[in-house]
Structure 1
């Protein structure tokens, strides 16, 4: 731990113990992206750069992709011409590993940023109105190069996708009060506005750029946007420490008249001043001191001398960052566009889109530009900070806590004390300490948290550190220790969080053999976590996170776990945790879960293609209901392809089902043609690729009433019709030997 120990008046602290479209940039510096194939391109938020206030132009949409299969259709039923929509049958990729990596990266160490006023002013001159934090924030999301991390048994592993989250300790990014938890409704609003602002069959095509032809992606890119916003929604809370600062960057510039005194004052502000953390967060964490040198105005020799003084006063956790203070423009030869910020909260996303819709100056489009030398310097700062300071600090803390706290808790004496507190009250200090309600006497029921130096708080911090260091085995065993303690103390939010993270850590462990992996324990932990979140805490955001992550990680296990993944995804829909767009995305994910369940080699049973096709039909009907016929067409095509594996000649044996599918296809075509002002007559034979210019027809859909869902309505092509069951009733999906229990399980 680095503190200004040799520089009074501040006393050093004691040792800390117990795609949617991407920006088309001409820059040489590549934008941040996942290592996934192109079809799983991220939905990088249009009109949002590294901060919510900077809109960006969009380019071509990625191809839609949702299912892992790539067989051609045997169905003889007519299809919409796909030349405009770009057929999703080419190059399918399910993306389970990509989403698994996305989940792991979402739990990254938080690093606070607190800069002096002169430093923020220097950076504002470069075009970053929020100062130093805004400048370095996007560069922390993907640390350059491979980082080697040691686990609790001493083995090392290299990671190339590691990152940190820079949070603003000045109050603009991190909620000091611990309130401000964002709701699932904000995530739903992000999805709705994203659809409206990007797809040409929505009301908006973007005020800052000409309307252009784009391709329509399947749900997977939009679903990844949903995951990112959901995993970015949580603010700092007492029951988990992922958003508590592991370290903080304290920055001054070479313009500062009293640099050392300014560093001491900044340290004092974050330790016991107006920028200190709440009572439930440990105030002592690693400090990293940065001197920002102005290359255009100041003398590097003087800055180097000052930097040497900083290292003598504050230790080795220091860095000299050399930046140019002049603003870079796109016409400069060495200009590089600032990378987009991946982890934006829903409110930041909505703020960015709102500001984008009101801007008219096309010159303000896109994030600011940086000189190539600035980019190299910032990337060097981030790598040195993470590789030489943050990770070693976290590793040492985990080792100390594991030896001093966790080992005692796992021993016989620790178990005996836990049982005594639970059954006899032995060792409880609640009466003497004035803290009521908890069996251990450490939980404050009035304020709802453990003190940072309590054993339960230390163990939770240790488990979160192990998780962020990707030592999932140690994290799971530590969460397991805490589950009973939190339950005994009736600390229900802590109790739910421990069950949730224990299940997630277990699912993220390397895949064991099927005989050793039991799903029953996982199901119990997920169910307990959701019950506590919803019933005892009224925390819908964390309940949705728990169910969503459980579904994705179970799906990545394959085999029988895919059906459990579908069941937990249905649970989120039944609980009303997602809105209309979220319901559609979850329907498509359920279809993907069933599609990934394949039959044993040589067997004619065991696959779930009929169930996958049924949920794709439900998704197609719901896309049509909200006025997205292009996406409904793609979901319908998915359903037909699944049914082609189990139906003869693509014909349903039940006439009512065949009638419903034919009517759905008919309505999708009519909706699509109406949205473009084309003839909707039955003799319409012109391919959709020959549609009129999208600039003339892109906003017509919003000027008419959307059609009602076909679910539960009589089919217009058959007087008998078909009333297909809703997700609350009994459904069917073709000729199956066994009863279809898809809707019963919902």
Structure 2
């Protein structure tokens, strides 16, 4: 066997000439080019000899001279991805969006409880201990909708938050400190981590799902962090607490009095929610029993007293106060938190950098503690939170929404709008005359007991209970009132969630007239968010959710999704990394557009391939060669479905663009492996070419190979013979 010292530093790839077909190593999903996994052909930081990447659009096999040797075959790493989480397909991305809007459960614990949990190794207190287990409730959660039918959900969860987090946070004027700047910083940190740990690139640049709509793990991270921007706001109630866990421990000397004091803090004091949060949320009382030091019989007696004083919404949580370590027999690793805000992600990254020499600090719990916490979370959600929300939805729907939907309610709404009758503010009447409702412009919100605020809360509760039919009708009912009151953020939010609810409802048609309605809702929401409210993060969330949900519908909805994704880039809502991810999703949108007849006509494979090429060039400009390679391979597979001849493009300029991009990726790999690319002879030797008359361009030139989508799509104007019309993409397809 050849020793590593005798092996060549880099195996030369097959040579290719401009305009000639170029071979590519086939993936194991060779039967369907669009369903192959997005993989990497080498690890940047690995010292093992790795062959430079080669490409082929359609060949099902390779000759021995072009096949990579088994010793240099890139292997998919089994190491953990720096992104973490789940690799999702189109259905899983839809599930991710649904799970992002979960009920918020606040935590308010006594000092003795905090000390007990801190002793177990959780510095953030009870919330840090419970948070990972709330994101996935064990077992099936059955929810009853507004018409009385029930449905079970396996992926239901809640968000545990500190009660103090409901207080509004002043917006930062520093672009880096803003949510959008933090989101871009999270993506940059992830790519930097992949650069420093080369064997993680494979999981970062590929999707294990064979669906062509699969989102890359990096895009999933982008989506999770975007949906986790949890700044409390009056105009939507997703981050308003549905319930509050009031916890004391068995160490407490005056338990009942402590519970009463904590209850008072939920409505007044420094921990109380702001005035625009409705105070009628559920209180859930928890007694944390110390299994290692306290008597269970005494805790049981105290627990019975709690139920007599505070009702049935109580729980006895039995935990060991000793800290668990990995070497314990019954130790269980605490699951990672999926829904971290960008600020929290950056904070955790800084902590890891400080402790990099000591290794990652992974928390562990005893198996008995894990089972006790899961039991408590399930009981909290199934027996208390869900019934409480269902009851509130029924009451608000019957007492408030039904009156608005009735004839008298519509008459009063029209009266307030056109004549000022029924207004709560004097002197505000008149035709179209300004604020005629309950909106307070000085505070920028409605009081929580006004019909407009209750209806928004009803719609949000129905959305979190996954009753999208009721949420759609309620958002649609109140959006006009918000516009009449010039409550622009409420107005934008109602339009946004009305469109999202319609797209999540499987019974909603995607006919042309219905898509026009959805497009109008999205357009109105984005205009209000950006022009009237300067809320870029809300506009980005609206467009991103619309893109993913429209793309999952397929057909003409997929083309609409691509147009809205382009709007994200036109509005400049994302940074350079986010822009590249959106470019990839535009390609996925067009790839999901299929013909109803099953023929290639009506599909958008060429457009999908073109946007993959643009994404590849964009990643190459950022120096992320593995991501560029993944996009380039996807483009080759898409082009293979519409080209008349294998690897030969109908436009010479297009052939040159693809050849130059392939060569640039190859040269980037050589640079990553320490090859001096300024030496033309050495590069030609490594690339396997016998002769070359072209000199290598510098890095800046090689990273700007593609100028515009128009050149990739139809070639420059000189490529069209005089007197002939250029062939349009739709005609070709």
Is the TM-score greater than 0.5? Answer: yes
CA distance in 2, matches of 1:418, 1:548: 33
Return the match for 2:205 from 188, 212, 217. Answer: 217
1:270 Cα offset (Å): 1.1
- 1:446 CA drift (Å): 0.8
SS in 2 for 1:684: helix
Matches within 5 A, 1:92-103: 95-103=89-97
What is residue 83 of structure 1 aligned with on the other side? 73
CA deviations on 1:530-583 (whole Å, 9 max, x unpaired) are: 000000000000000000000000001111100000000000011000111111
RMSD: 3.0
The answer on 1:369 being equivalent to 2:364 is yes
Which segment drifts farther, 248-257 or 213-222?
Answer: 213-222
Q: In structure 2, do the counterparts of structure 1 residues 175 and 286 end up closer, same or farther at CA, with 3 Å as the change threshold?
A: closer
How far apart are 1:593 and its partner, in Å? 0.8
Structure 1 residues 713-735: Cα deviation after superposition (integer angstroms, max 9, x where no partner)? 5xxxxxxxxxx5436x6751579
Partner of 2:114: 120
Q: Indicate the SS of the match to 1:271.
A: coil
Structure 1 contact 216–630 (Cα < 8 Å) conserved: no
**Partner residue in 2 for 1:405:** 400
Contact 1:476 1:502 in 2 (8 A): yes
Q: State the Cα distance separating 1:313 from its structure 2 match.
A: 0.3
- Aligned pairs for 1:713-728 (under 5 A) are 724-726=706-708
Q: 1:512 to 1:239 in 2, by over 3 A?
A: closer
**Is the 8 Å Cα contact of residues 84 and 215 (structure 1) preserved in structure 2?**
no
Tell whether the 8 Å contact from 1:421 to 1:439 is kept in structure 2 after alignment. Answer: no
Q: 1:709 to 1:592 in 2, by over 3 A?
A: farther
Please point out which of 149, 152, 166 is paired with 1:155: 149
Q: Cα gap change, 1:582/1:621 in structure 2, threshold over 3 Å: closer, same or farther?
A: same
- Correspondence 1:353-364 to 2 at 5 A: 353-362=349-358
Distance between the aligned counterparts of 2:167 and 2:511, measured in 1?
47
What 5-or-longer segments of structure 1 have no aligned partner? 1-36, 42-69, 88-92, 687-704, 714-723
Residue 714 (structure 2) pairs with residue 739 (structure 1): no
1:327 CA drift (Å): 0.6
Give the 3 Å change call, closer, same or farther, for CA 215–384 of structure 1 in structure 2: closer
Alpha-carbon separation, structure 2, partners of 1:335 and 1:438: 63
The alpha carbon displacement at 1:359 in A equals: 1.5
**1-structure distance, mates of 2:633, 2:38:** 19
Aligned to 2:51: none
Q: 2:552 aligns with which of 553, 556, 559?
A: 556
Report the CA distance shift for 1:706/1:316 in structure 2 as closer, same or farther (over 3 A): farther
Q: Does 1:176 align with 2:149?
A: no
1:139 aligns with 133
1:419 aligns with 2:414: yes
Q: Which residue does the alignment assign to 2:617?
A: 621
1:589-608 to 2 correspondences below 5 Å: 589-608=585-604
Residues 430-449 of structure 1 mapped to structure 2, 5 A cutoff: 430-431=425-426, 439-449=435-445
Instruction: Find the counterpart in structure 2 of residue 308 from structure 1.
Output: 304
Unaligned runs of 5+ residues in structure 2 are 1-34, 40-55, 78-86, 173-177, 207-214, 678-682, 689-697
Give the counterpart of 2:654 among 646, 653, 657. Answer: 657
Asked whether the equivalents of residues 252 and 291 of structure 1 are also in contact (C-alpha less than 8 Å), the reply is yes
How many angstroms apart in 2 are the aligned matches of 1:270 and 1:517?
A: 47
Per-residue CA distance 1:178-221 (angstroms, 9 max, x = gap): 545852221111111100112xxx3x339xxxx88965523611
C-alpha distance after superposition, 1:634-688 (max 9, x if no partner): 11111111111111222112111111111111111101121121465122269xx
When Rg is computed on C-alpha atoms for both structures, the one with the higher figure is 2
Distance 1:195 1:738 in 2: 39
Question: For residues 76 and 666 of structure 1, do their structure 2 counterparts lie closer, same or farther at Cα, with a shift above 3 Å needed?
Answer: farther
Distance 2:511 2:349 in 1: 49
How many residues align? The count is 631
Contact 1:430 1:438 (C-alpha < 8 Å) held by counterparts: no
Counterparts of 1:159-238 in structure 2 under 5 Å? 159-169=153-163, 171=164, 174-180=165-171, 182-198=178-194, 202=195, 204-205=196-197, 216-218=204-206, 220-238=216-234
In structure 2, relative to structure 1, the CA distance for the partners of 1:275 and 1:610 (3 Å cut) is: same
**How far apart in 1 are the matches of 2:468 and 2:368?**
38
Describe the superposition over 1:499-536 as per-residue Cα deviations: whole angstroms up to 9, x where unpaired.
00000000000144555972000000000000000000
Q: Aligned-pair distance for 1:601?
A: 3.5
SS across alignment from 1:617: helix
Distance in 1 of aligned mates of 2:338 and 2:203: 22
C-alpha contact 1:627 1:707 (8 A) present in aligned 2: no
Q: Is the 8 A contact 1:437 1:445 kept in 2?
A: no
Q: Which residue of 1 aligns with 2:28?
A: none
Residues 328 and 426 (structure 1), Cα distance of their counterparts in 2 relative to 1, 3 Å cut: same
Displacement of 1:86 in angstroms is 4.7
Residue 48 of structure 2: aligned partner: none
Q: What secondary structure, in the 3-state scheme, does the structure 2 residue paired with 1:148 have?
A: strand
Q: Deviation of residue 85 (structure 1)? A: 6.6
CA 1:366–1:411: 2 relative to 1, 3 Å: same
**1:427 Cα deviation from its structure 2 partner:** 1.4
TM-score (norm 2): 0.81
CA contact (8 A) 1:624 1:707 kept: no
Residue correspondence of structure 1 range 567-646 to structure 2 within 5 A: 567-646=563-642
Quote how far apart the aligned CAs of 1:605 are: 0.8
Contact 2:104 2:161 in 1 (8 A): yes
Residue 343 of structure 1: aligned partner: 339
Cα distance in 1 for partners of 2:127, 2:201 equals 37
**Superposition misfits of 4+ residues, deviation over 6 angstroms:** 37-41, 74-82, 734-737
**1:268 aligns to 2:268 (yes or no):** no
Aligned to 1:499: 495
Q: 1:467 to 1:138 in 2, by over 3 A?
A: same
Q: Shift of the alpha carbon at 1:131?
A: 1.0
Answer yes or no: is 1:461 the counterpart of 2:465.
no
| 8 Å CA contact retained: 2:495, 2:525 | yes
